[in-house]
Structure 1
Amino acid sequence: MRSFPFASTAQGLHYAITIFQPSETIRLTTDFEDATLGGRLFEAAGAVNITNIVYAADGFATSADVQISSTVGGSIRPGLAARGLLDGLPITVEAFDPRHPESGTFDMVPGATIGSVAESTNGAIVLAVQGRLALMKSPMCQVYSSMCRARLGDSRCRVPISVDLVARGQAYVLKDNMKLQANGKWGASQAWVKKLEGGSYNDIVYECTTAGTSHATVAPTYPTVIGSTVTDGTAVFTARQAWLVAATGQALDFFNIQLDADPSVTPSILGNIIPQTGELTNTRIPIKAYDEGTRIVTLWQPFAPSNFPAATEFLIHPGCDRTMATCRDVFDNIKNMRAEPYAPNSDLVTGRA
């Protein structure tokens, strides 16, 4: 049985909310002023509230709703929820005593994730926070499918979309020997690295082609010509074309972005274009189409053209439709495909000769 860390005389408890995004962590509080808890600053964003708390038989919460009012320039921006950028993210809802923050916090819904998300036209967002019990309503193991169950670039897919900087004294393996996690590294970062050379990543990643450990203190100069190699400690790396590449451009209207030059990798449907400057920095925006003749990226959803003025910097990568053909022919990654494309479908199982 869990116990509250607060004194029996505590009054006016508030909540500290943490949303763990891939690119940043959002911390908000229902209090009227910012709160510092365990060295972490929680922003009093206003109009943040906890409602519809559901309790189990043991008296502890299993789910709740978090209500947030989005603000331009704030941690929760208008459109963030409507574009699906909060779906499925880990979240914590912790109660605390604002008069005695040193008492610590109490996790209201342990192991919580964000379930359904709703955003109204006036920017009001409701996040359905679901605890561990909600997982019992979903499949607890992998199910057969002809389409890949991994996401492009995740720790199961292992296509090197986004990889870590090369680390000192780090063991690296060949790409065919990657595991889900090894040597403190997840996915592709076990065999692939990136490195700044001349102030740029040069649209290059480096594949470990001789397994070993990078030098503990000395970082050699990495080549910027594709196919060239470098020895770092006992490991050897070979320069390869990156999938995630740099580009600049500007919005033509709500749905189209004109690139200034052809990127070194051609964007495609289901890929992402990711602004690196402005209010939408690091927001992954899905690509609907790309015209190589005009260098125009078409988006699925509208964005205000003012978000992407001239010379806006982007990162961009192609998409994956999760089919065997794309995995094999485009990404050369059939070994890591999480699907059963040759499993009989329902017609073959139930049909008769």
Structure 2
Amino acid sequence: MDRSPVVTILAGRTRRLWQPLLQQLRIAHELGQRCVLIVPEHYTLQAERALISGLGTQGLLLAEVLSPSRLIQRVRDRAGTGQRVPVDELGCSMTVMRALEKSRADLWFYYSAASFPGFSPKLARIISAMKESRLTPEALLEHIADWPESALQSKLHDTARVFTAYQELLSNQFADEEDQAQDVFRRLQQSQLFAGAHIFVYGFDMFTQKLCDLITQLSLQASQMLVTIVSDAAQAPDGEAFEPVRDSTQHLMDALAQHNTPYRFVWSDNEAINAPADIMHLERHVLDPTRPRFEQPTHAVRLFAAPSPYAEVRNAAEYIATALRSGVPPSRIMVLCGNFERYQGLLDAVLRDFGIPAYIAEKYPLTSHGLVRA
């Protein structure tokens, strides 16, 4: 007899995923379930604000908002940590350097490159990616055993040899990031910290291996999970742009199946967004390689050919000032720069001259901004 799905993967375009999540969160809360909302790093504050906006002041009382790092830290605080000494990125590079020296006699291609500046950190990142993908050095050597001799085969052979020496150096004394993650997942499962919870996953752009592992482990103790992802079908006008997202979603479903976790995949309703016709056209076709023309008059989208960067920034400031006077809150206004280094000083000076409150988010990715995820 088939079991009811524990995990629902809801895929759809931006602005069509948040409301279904809020609806399910309300239902879960009314049933007395503990609710946990997992969002990307740097998005926790915006997610809390979105909960208040969508559910009123009680929004924060309905769900715990956690980023993956916060969740991992909670597991460590409540379930402890292993005895192996944690090794950071610099420590991994130093360990790879020692592994290169240890395996130098077995190297074909990296023998001379081992001493080049910057080589160890690059190789450390490759080894980290292999560990994250569950690719062992033995499996890599077996895979290339029948390949004809080539530079690529030699590189992969040497990578496997260094990987083996790297693992031996870590042994049971040290733990790199991947080893630490696996320890957290074991303790997460043993502690059952989220047993019976209704867990929501929102705002991620791709299902990385680590995120798949986290979702899979949580699914083993959650009563229900709703996992959302911005995507579109292959036959959509811009469906080709979402192929990596669909591949990562399939990877997540494969991981759930391997753990015998019942799941279902559904597309969100593809109703039109509440926006002007020209904005809807952009939303539907901005990634479409055929670039269909918008034949109607434009109202919400304006183009301005500025004679200079200063004139361009000043024109943008005038529109922003007009929007602020009409009641649009500053948090709902965003300025995007194609060349940030060129425009940063101009933006800072001109917006200040216009009395416009602005924050230049240099260190955060565009996708962490709440306006993008709204």
TM-score by length of 1: 0.23
Q: Higher relative contact order at CA 8 Å, sep ≥6: structure 1 or structure 2?
A: 2
Higher strand share: 1
TM-score by length of 2: 0.22
